[in-house]
Amino acid sequence: MGDPGTSLAPLANTAAQFATTNWSLVLASQSVASQATSAQEQLFRLYWPPLYAFIRRRGYGPEEAQDMTQEFVARLLARKDLAQVKPELGRFRSFLLASLKHFLANEWQAAQTQKRGGGLARLSWDDETLERQYQLEAADQATPETIFERRWALNVLEQALSQLEQEYSRAGKQDLFEGLRGFLSGDSRIIPQAEIAARLGISVNALRVALHRLRQRYGQVLREQIAATVTSPADIEEEIRYLMAALAR
Per-residue model confidence as pLDDT tens digits over 38-64: 656 666 777 888 999 999 988 889 988
Per-residue model confidence as pLDDT tens digits over 14-25: 333 323 334 555
Contacting residues for 99 by C-beta, under 8 A, at least 6 apart: 72, 76, 81
Per-residue model confidence as pLDDT tens digits over 205-226: 999 999 999 999 999 998 888 8
For residues 82 and 76, is the Cβ–Cβ distance under 8 A? yes
Most confident of 27-31, 84-88, 176-180: 176-180
Per-residue model confidence as pLDDT tens digits over 133-142: 777 665 566 7
For residues 231 and 87, is the Cβ–Cβ distance under 8 A? yes
Per-residue model confidence as pLDDT tens digits over 165-193: 999 999 999 999 999 998 887 665 778 89
Q: What pLDDT shows up at residue 213? A: 96
